[in-house]
């Protein structure tokens, strides 16, 4: 399989007491190894649902998710989901502990990431003493410590202020690029989608179908800041904006 992940005709309906919610409909998408994909779409259109299906958390859907059996997937969510009663370090190694995979090598890698993100001096602190951006970095370390092949990012920066948001999304961008990870990022920020990814998938309002897929091609890919300076940046913005169902969902 040349693709890391293939989605075939994914359809998902939720059944609730109030009735049926048709979330997504016939989604077809192939994702190559090392690709960064963003998904944008009106809120409530089924983006998180799609990630849950890809991750395997949700098995109740129609269609096919084709992926390698031992593909390592990690999730990053809107909330940093740090446990307030654990130290920063214990939070960072939580995934390794749950997976019973806390080897010396893994610990070394975690230490390296702490150094890299300049958080080493906070290892013994508790979440409440860190800023939102720092906490999201700890969540990032927790995610990366598992050495995942595929990163599922569900609006991970949306609770942060603009500055932290740019800084940490650049952090993620760089590490993902340098380690050739495959990423699916959900965001409702078009600029973030453009500056972060190789392809932007635009979903319609419910029941969601793929309205458009915009290929992003920048000359200088070094950082999200460089990408934002590209002359084509606004062209992409308009393309995506045109297809986005706003205030309709």
162 belongs to the binding site for ligand ADP (CB under 6 A):
no
Instruction: Assess contact for 27 and 63: CB atoms under 8 A.
Output: yes
User: Any contact of residue 189 with Mg ion (CB under 5 A)?
Assistant: no
The DSSP code sequence of 40-67 is E--TTSSHHHHHHHHHTS----EEEEEE
SS3 string, 109-163, reads HHHHHHHHCCCHHHCCCCHHHCCHHHHHHHHHHHHHCCCCCEEEEECCCCCCCHH
Burial state string for 7-24 with b = 16 or more CB within 10 A and e = fewer than 16: beebbbeeeeeeeeeebb
Task: Collapse the DSSP code of 205 into the 3-class scheme (helix H, G, I; strand E, B; otherwise coil) and give the result.
Answer: coil
DSSP alpha helix (H) spans, 179-221: 190-196
Sheet with 19-32, strands from edge to edge, namely 19-32, 3-16, 62-67
Helix (H, G, I), strand (E, B) or coil at 30: strand
Could you tell me which stretch among 21-29, 69-77, 205-213, 230-238 binds another protein (CB under 8 A)?
69-77
Question: CB-wise, 48 or 145, nearer to Mg ion?
Answer: 48
Between residues 136 and 195, which has the closer beta carbon with respect to another protein?
Answer: 136
Rule CB under 8 A: say whether 83 interacts with another protein. Answer: yes
Q: Pick the closer one to another protein by CB: 83 or 213.
A: 83
- Residue 48 as a binder of Mg ion (CB under 5 A): the answer is yes
Q: Work out whether 17 is an interface residue with another protein (CB under 8 A).
A: no
Strand 73-76 versus strand 150-154 pairing type = parallel
> Can residue 69 be called a binding residue for another protein (CB under 8 A)?
no
Which residue, 57 or 213, has its beta carbon nearer to another protein?
A: 57
Burial (CB count <10 Å: 0-12, 13-18, 19+), residue 74: buried
CB of 220 to another protein, least distance (A): 34
Question: Could you say which of ligand ADP, another protein, Mg ion, none residue 16 binds, taking C-beta under 5 to 8 angstroms by partner kind?
Answer: ligand ADP
Instruction: Give the torsion sign (CA, 129, 130, 131, 132).
Output: negative
Give the nearer residue to ligand ADP in terms of CB position, either 93 or 153.
Answer: 153
Give the footprint of ligand ADP on residues 45-64 (CB under 6 A): 45-49
Question: Residue 63 Cβ, how far from ligand ADP at the closest point, in Å?
Answer: 15
177 three-class SS: helix
Interface pattern 9-48 for ligand ADP (x via CB under 6 A): -----x-x----x-x-----------------x-xxxxxx
Residues that bind Mg ion (CB under 5 A): 48
Residues that bind ligand ADP (CB under 6 A): 14, 16, 21, 23, 41, 43-49
Residues that bind another protein (CB under 8 A): 55, 57, 73-75, 77-79, 81, 83-85, 94-95, 98-99, 126, 128, 146
């Amino acid at each position: 399989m040349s693709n890391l992940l293939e989605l075939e005709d994914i359809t998902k309906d939720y059944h609730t007491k109030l009735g049926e919610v048709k979330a997504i409909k016939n989604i077809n998408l192939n994702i190559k190894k090392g690709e960064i994909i963003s998904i944008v779409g009106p809120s409530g259109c089924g983006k998180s649902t799609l990630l849950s299906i890809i991750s395997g958390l949700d098995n109740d859907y129609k269609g096919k998710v084709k992926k390698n059996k031992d593909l390592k997937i990690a999730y990053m969510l809107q909330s940093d989901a740090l446990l307030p009663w654990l130290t920063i370090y214990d939070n960072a190694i939580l995934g390794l502990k749950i997976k019973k995979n806390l080897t010396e090598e893994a610990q070394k890698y975690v230490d390296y990431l702490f150094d890299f993100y300049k958080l080493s001096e906070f290892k013994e602190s508790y979440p409440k003493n860190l800023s939102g951006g720092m906490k999201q970095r700890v969540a990032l370390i927790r995610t990366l410590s598992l050495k995942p092949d595929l990163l599922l990012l569900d609006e991970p920066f949306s609770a942060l202020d603009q500055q932290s948001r740019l800084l940490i999304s650049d952090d993620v961008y760089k590490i993902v690029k340098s380690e050739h990870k495959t990423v699916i990022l959900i965001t409702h920020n078009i600029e973030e989608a453009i500056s972060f990814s190789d392809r932007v998938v635009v979903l319609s309002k419910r029941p969601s179908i793929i309205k458009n897929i915009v290929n992003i091609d920048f000359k200088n890919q070094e950082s999200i800041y460089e990408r934002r300076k590209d002359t084509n940046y606004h062209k992409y913005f308009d393309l995506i904006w045109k297809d986005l169902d706003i205030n309709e969902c």
